Amino acid sequence: MSSKNKVIKGEKAAKTPAGQSKTGALQSQTNERHKHGGIAILALLILLIATFIFSLCLGRYQFSPSDIIQVLWGTLTQSNVDPMASNIVFSVRMPRILMGILVGAALAEAGATYQAVFGNPLVSSDILGVSSGASFGATLGILLSVGTIGIQAWSLAFGLIALVIVIFLGRVQKKTQLYMLVLAGVIVSSLFSALVSLLEYVADPYDQLPAIVTWLMGSLTSSSYGDVVTSAIIILPCCILLWLLRWKLNLLSLDEEEAASLGIDVSKMRILVLVIATLMTAVTVSLCGVIGWIGLVIPHMCRMIVGNDHRVLIPSSMLMGGAYLLLIDDIARCATGTEIPLSILTAIIGAPVFMSLLQKTGGSAK
Amino acid sequence: MKVEIHNGCFGYRGKLLFDHLNLKVPENKVLTILGANGVGKTTLLRCLMGFLPWKEGETLLNGAPFHSYSHKEVWSHISYVPQAKQSSFSYRVIDTVVMGLNASSSLFSTPSKEDYEKAQAALEWLGLADLAERNCDRVSGGQLQMVLIARALVSDPEVLILDEPESNLDMANQLRVLDVIERIADKGDTTCIINTHFPNNALRISDDTLFLGSNGKQLMGPTKSVINEDTIKEFYHVRSYMVPVTPISNKLRIVFPYQTEQIPAEL
């Protein structure tokens, strides 16, 4: 007995110094991890700016990055610029590119928000059926010719309806179950897709139908400065509001009662945040159709880089979402002679990522 | 802060869990709640904290009804330590602890440097300073429980409510948790309400004990007198001896269970 005791004590004594040396290493990580978030955001910002300039270069008429910088700088300082280059950059490419950044940032931020509220990394506006609901609303708006703001309002209304149905179906015994949430999303999505098909069926085949079909597949083709302004009026305040609430999103991602016990008014905060995220989704859907997968894939990629802290995750998702959609749109408009619909490209890239995500988590949020 | 339950009634689907339950925890005392599985220990805490609505009766904080306080007011006085489990999004330990200061922050605020210093101090008080930078999914179950206690303590609560804090922990970690509760009680400025499965832990840390039984049965009194062979038999259907632990203290006695009784049919 006594010899055994000695052995155990000996082991303990041997372990302690090792434990302490670990401590020192951990503490030196402190500052690194604080910096880590800032560096990631800065790197993503540079990535976004680089993508922005790169995207301005691409097209039928190719520019070099230095041409683009000259045009941008020249216009800023009001010195003389090649009028043709200026025309291509500002009239043809710029609105579409700005729209791409806005929409990508909005979808990614909305996705990160949905994930925080439902406390799991497998949801986004398209998985929850919000996008389908919003697209039905927008189709209805196009069919009734209610104008841009009317279309956005319809889109938001049905996006919210879809969300409410999904939340209602997803609650089993007063707890939101992940598998029920995803299943409910499938049900609601297919219901609203069917309703969209119904509307397509009754739409005027020469005038409305082609418009609906191309719009539904997701495209930034027809973006004008007007569209950029109308979407920015809604998307930018929403982005800022969610950014301001970034720390509360950390708390909101905890268990309902845990969050409540930390002084969060959970139901009010959830509704506020979900309405903002749905509003952003609805605006993007009403302007450029359903662009799937971004809201799921981008926040997840950001989580792998910067961790789960929404104070870093929210800005990172916005920046990466903007850059990602820009790149996708570059492929869409330049890879072939004709435009490839965006949702096709985002799905080809997004679906495999989602598959690996499902495999990794075993279909459940821990 | 004094915590009371006045005539609390609650039940699920016709089954009454609490029948006009009365409870008084004097300021800065420690209450443990004991009872077999399924008698509603956690439910009682949830009713007490307003997560479930009382069918009748109410919770009183310092004599005033629970609902006369705003949500923020309540939670700047009370801290709750849930049973430790990993959530799908894990944050750094220090970021988790700093969340405990949320109740006193405004809507758009983020934690300040002082908040982080407070969180670090709370971790140090619990001997967890080394863990600060680690991610919560990289700590053990026992450490996670202590992190959640740190999160609860960082706001200097007047009431601390713990739901089975020592369940699922190994012996050493159980002792660590008990030790922390004793230290909190010794500070003498916090009222503690603790659910536990272990009468011996109650004997060690609490002033008063509430026994919950099936069908709304309840018994409350000073821990040292209310935990005895008869009450253990009555509420757990277990035969036991109260055994003195003389090597540690002449006053300390523990429950030694040795045989189960036939459980009555209605359970």
Confidence at residue B266, expressed as pLDDT on a 0 to 100 scale:
56
Confidence class of residue A20 from pLDDT cuts 50, 70 and 90?
A: very low
pLDDT value, residue B242: 93
Average pLDDT over residues B128-154: 93
CA distance B52 to B46: 6
Would the ipTM clear 0.95, i.e. be above it? no
Whether residue B147 is predicted with pLDDT greater than 90 in this model: the reply is: yes
- pLDDT for residue A130: 92
Contacts with B, A 42-101, CB within 8 Å: none
Q: How does pLDDT run across B228-254, given as a tens digit for each residue? A: 999 999 999 999 999 988 888 777 889
Asked if A26 has any chain B CB less than 8 Å from its own CB, the reply is yes
pLDDT of residue A142: 86
Q: How far is A111 from chain B (nearest CA, A)?
A: 15
Residue A19 has pLDDT above 50, yes or no: no
What average pLDDT does range A71-77 have in this prediction?
89
CATH architecture of A93-361: Orthogonal Bundle (1.10)
Please say if the pLDDT value at position A77 is more than 60.
Answer: yes
Report pLDDT for A181.
Answer: 82
pLDDT confidence bin for B264, thresholds 50/70/90? low
Q: CB distance from B189 to chain A under 8 Å? A: no
Instruction: Say what the pLDDT of residue B247 is.
Output: 81
Q: Which residue of B has its CA nearest to A240?
A: B108
**B134 reaches A (C-beta below 8 A):** yes
User: Which pLDDT score, from 0 to 100, does residue A359 have?
Assistant: 76
The residue in chain A having the minimum alpha-carbon distance to the alpha carbon of residue B49 is A261
pLDDT for residue A35: 63
pLDDT digits (tens, 9 = 90+) for A289-298: 888 889 999 9
Mean pLDDT of chain B: 91
pLDDT of residue A173: 67
pLDDT at A6: 37
The structural domains of chain A, with segments of one domain joined by +, span 93-361
pLDDT at B263: 64
B111/A27 touch (CB, cutoff 8 Å), yes or no: no
Give the minimum alpha-carbon distance from B108 to chain A in angstroms, rounded to a whole number: 5
Q: For A179-202, what is the mean pLDDT?
A: 90
CB contact B46 to A (< 8 Å): yes
Nearest to A119 among B49, B87, B110 (CB): B87
pLDDT for A243-289, tens place per residue?
999 999 999 999 889 999 999 998 889 889 999 999 999 999 988 88
For residues A99 and A34, the model is more confident at A99
Which residue out of A27, A246, A308, A310 would a mutagenesis test of the B interface target, given it has the greatest number of B Cβ atoms within 10 Å? Answer: A308
Work out the mean pLDDT of chain A and round it to a whole number: 84
Q: Is B11 an 8 Å CB contact of chain A?
A: no
Tens digit of each residue's pLDDT (9 = 90 or more) over A131-161? 999 999 999 988 888 887 888 899 989 999 9
pLDDT at position A214: 75
Closest Cα in chain B to A23: B130
Question: What residues in A contact B79, CB-CB < 8 Å?
Answer: 261
Q: Which domains does chain B have, with CATH numbers?
A: 3-260 (3.40.50.300)
pLDDT of residue B210: 96
Decide if B172 touches A, using CB distance below 8 A. Answer: no
C-alpha distance from residue A290 to each of A125, B60, B64 (Å): 10, 52, 53
Which chain A residues are Cβ-neighbours of B151 within 8 angstroms? 262
Residue A175: predicted pLDDT: 67
What is the DSSP track for A221-254? TT--HHHHHHHHHHHHHHHHHHHHTHHHHHHHTS
Mean pLDDT of B12-36: 91
Asked if A27 lies within 8 A of B46 by C-beta distance, the reply is no
Residue A17 has pLDDT above 90, yes or no: no
Distances (CA, A) of A106 to A165, A195, A282: 23, 26, 10
Residue A365 pLDDT: 40
In this complex, is the C-beta atom of A263 within 8 Å of any C-beta atom belonging to chain B? Answer: yes
Q: What is the mean pLDDT of residues B67-91?
A: 91
Q: How far is B133 from chain A (nearest CA, A)?
A: 6
Among chain B residues, CA nearest to A28? B133
Question: Of all residues in chain B, what percent carry a pLDDT higher than 70?
Answer: 98
> Nearest CA of chain A to the CA of B212: how many Å?
23
